[in-house]
Amino acid sequence: MKNFAVCFNHKITNSVEVKDKLLDILNSKGLNVQSLDIDNLKNGYDFVFVIGGDGTILKTARFFAKFQIPIFGINLGRLGFLSQSSKENIETSVDKILNGDFVIQDRVMLKSGNYTALNDFVIKGCDTGRTTRFSLKINDKFAGDYLADGIIVSTPTGSTAYGLSAGGPVLAPSLKAFVIVPICPHTLTARPVVIPDCEHISIIPDGNYVLSCDGQELYELKNEIVIEKSLYSAKLALLDDNAFYTVLENKLHWSTPPVYLN
């Protein structure tokens, strides 16, 4: 690796300070490095450090996926589920990366036309005060109608995000699958469905709807939406290939027993 970039989100507190610290560390090692604002990304690097929260990483991952450039997250946000480092241990993380002590994990992404998502697509009716009927087809076969506030189509990476909050399952990132999760369905038997990521998903809402890509980009549409696996995958650099389960415990407090007060 010869060319590095440090991507930062100027809207996040301390991001400029941490960016400058990281640039100093990389420059002191004689590396070719440039800084990029999250709103002005460009190609031409072998490796990208991303400073910010999960939202910053999602936006950066979508951009660099088509160039197959690995990214490494340094968390400044609240949860930092996609990050591998904090501002306190930047130098240690840099040394591991430069010594090749990391792995690159491919994360499946979603696409619908020109839209892409690493976490999820969320489809909701434009009339937020009412439920909407959504007809679901998988591989052009009718799979059911949902009367609900919306539908989430999630990747394994996104299964710990909105889909989890809506009652969906947690999927290990390496699984080749998608999750379809109805949001507040008006039928008790409507439950999340896990399908292979080679399947084609079609959703026909009853009326106009809003498509949300990773909760960051919103588009108002009115025709059938077709969702499938993207040709590109996000490449996340990880210091520990098995960190997913540790992250579940440490950041989501997974399976933590309740605390009883005397």
Buried b (16+ CB within 10 A) or exposed e, 201-227: bbbebeeebbbbbbbeeeeebeeebeb
Q: Which two tokens stand for residue 242?
A: 């098995």
Among candidates 262, 237, 5, 242, which has minimal Cα distance to 100?
237
Among candidates 72, 69, 8, 68, which has minimal Cα distance to 38?
8
- Any bridge partners for residue 111, and if so which? 116, 228
Q: Which two tokens stand for residue 27?
A: 């420059």
Count the neighbouring beta carbons within 10 Å of the beta carbon of residue 145. 14
- Any bridge partners for residue 103, and if so which? 238
State yes or no: is 54 an active-site residue. Answer: yes
Q: Which two tokens stand for residue 229?
A: 């696996």
Q: Give whole-number Cα distances, 98 to 19, 127, 129, in Å.
A: 18, 51, 52
Helices (H), 72-127: 90-98
Q: What order do you get walking across the sheet with 209-213 strand by strand?
A: 193-196, 177-183, 150-154, 120-125, 209-213, 217-221
The single residue of 20, 37, 39, 54 carrying the catalytic annotation is 54
H helix or E strand, kind and range, residue 245: helix 243-252
Which residues are marked as active site?
54
